[in-house]
Amino acid sequence: MEKGQVNLLMLLLFLSVCSASDQEWWKAVISARNGSSMLINGVGSSILFPIHGNVYPTGYYNVTINIGQPPKSYFLDLDTGSDLTWLQCDAPCVHCIEAPHPLYQPNNDLVVCKDPLCASLHPPGDYKCESPKQCDYEVEYADGGSSLGVLVRDVFSLNYENGIQLSPRLALGCGYDQIPGTSYHPLDGILGLGKGKSSIVSQLKSQGLVQNVVGHCLSGRGGGYLFFGDDLYDFSRVTWTSMSQELTKYYSPGIAELYFGEKATVAKNLIVIFDSGSSYTYLNSQAYQTLTVLLKNELSGRSLKEAPEDQTLPLCWKGRKPFKNVSDVKRYFKIIALAFTNTGRTKTLFELHPEAYLIISKKGNVCLGILNGTQVGLQNLNVIGDVSMQDRMVIYDNEKQKIGWSPANCDQLPTPTSKTCNM
């Protein structure tokens, strides 16, 4: 019997003892191996990436992704606050910033101007095809940084968490003109994880390769993991709230009010978004002033004193001796929470324990990782950043239009929860 016949017989025997859902999943896997697209019917596999970096002192998290033929490695910053994935690109490059790897060499597979992906990158009333054979883009970020370039398609070398490889052709930006922002650091590019058509997970969904779900787990000790798909968590153990139907551009649970030590404050009607591209959490001026006054009152008479000489962050405190970690000082600080109103009168709390809003500076002082967003141009927007998402799994479920979170060990990669039949 030939090798191919043996493999086929083994597969038929395997499918005969697996459940129906497992059979559907393996049919999808076979399809992925053969390079075709097939919707994974809610059972499929997730794509998993180890994360590198930390909130402080590094100031960002990134993943390594292999792109091109032959594949080359690039470090991409995670950003749930934007859609487009782009690389600094030798097209040639007009203005590129320092990068960990050589600039991306684009192929000739240009995305044309009339492609729906191109249209999704431009405001509806400002979409003109001045260059029909290519798609020009420009993205700007809250810190003043930007990228200008053209859209191309190339092969992404990815792996399901079970080891199955796939090589879809996906659209990305070839950025030939970058302006660094205030949070500048050397980077190859940005991994856009937003809700739009151009985001990587949306493109993978359109090819039937994963469900349109993004999740990340950022470790307070550095590192963590990122995943696309819906089989790496138990839905029933996650705290969920609905995505806003008004703020559709962002991952937003809508309007919140600020709690301090389990009591509501005067800071209400806060427009909140989740943004993994922001190291710190930001409140608008009114909410920030409310919080800092409450904190200072709470610490009055304690052994902590303000340390204006420490410029790590705007508000720091020092003790009788340097602190080594937040555990040394957490007893002085209360739990903060953002309360989101769901349908009816029920409220969902996103709690911030001291570890989720404090850092220890290099000088051994404790600093507030919640900043004044109005001062940095966020106007009335309130941003939940990386510092407040540490040591919990945060999930953006675009299929069910929900955002969820659950305490997690982000130092350990997860295993699938929905598949019990192995091959």
Residue 138 token pair: 């420009």
Q: How many CA atoms lie within 13 A of 364 on its CB side?
A: 6
Q: Is 275 a catalytic residue?
A: yes
Q: What is d(CA 359, CA 331) in angstroms, rounded to the nearest whole number?
A: 14
- C-alpha distance from residue 307 to each of 324, 325, 363, 373 (Å): 16, 17, 10, 21
Q: Which long-range contacts (CB under 8 A, 24 or more apart) does 330-335 make?
A: 330/354, 330/355, 330/358, 332/298, 332/299, 332/302, 332/304, 333/295, 333/298, 333/357, 333/358, 334/260, 334/261, 334/298, 335/261, 335/262
According to DSSP, the β-strands at 316-318 and 402-407 are unpaired
Shortest CA distance to 279 belongs to which of 254, 313, 247?
A: 313
Shortest CA distance to 372 belongs to which of 267, 252, 292, 270?
A: 292
DSSP 295: H
Classified as helix, coil or strand, 321 is coil
CB 97 within 8 A of CB 187: yes
Classified as helix, coil or strand, 150 is strand
CB 365 within 8 A of CB 310: yes
Shortest CA distance to 226 belongs to which of 199, 254, 250, 196?
A: 199
* Active-site option among 79, 83, 230, 310: 79
* Active-site option among 22, 77, 275, 397: 275
Q: What is d(CA 302, CA 296) in angstroms, rounded to the nearest whole number?
A: 10
In this structure, the dihedral spanned by the alpha carbons of residues 288, 289, 292 and 298, taken in order and rounded to 10 degrees, is -130
Q: Which residues are catalytic?
A: 79, 275
